[in-house]
Amino acid sequence: MIEPPVYVFTLGDSGHFGLTFLRDGRNLPPPRDGGRWILLRQVTMADRDLRSFIEDTGFARAQLTMRGFYLARKSAPILPFPKAHRSSA
């Protein structure tokens, strides 16, 4: 079975991504700030392609299949604080 292409849209440099099967993105919800979705690229449903934009590729594929689109926000990785050292005094 051939899977349809996935079109990746972005909201500028906000880190928000919209994935959809529709090339014009008309099924993506309108942005709250009045901006607009900008087509970034076309990818496949393969994990290697989707991971560039989202972490949970299985959930994204399920949402694309059920709803026709998926919204995500890519943020910087969380860096844990180093563990405190006990004073030797």
16-20 and 6-10: which strand pairing?
antiparallel
**pLDDT, tens only, 50-74:** 888 888 899 999 999 999 999 988 7
**Residue 62: partners with Cβ closer than 8 Å, 6 or more residues away:** none
Q: What is the pTM of this model?
A: 0.77
pLDDT tens digits, 7-18: 999 987 777 899
The residue among 59, 83, 60 whose CA lies nearest residue 8 is: 60
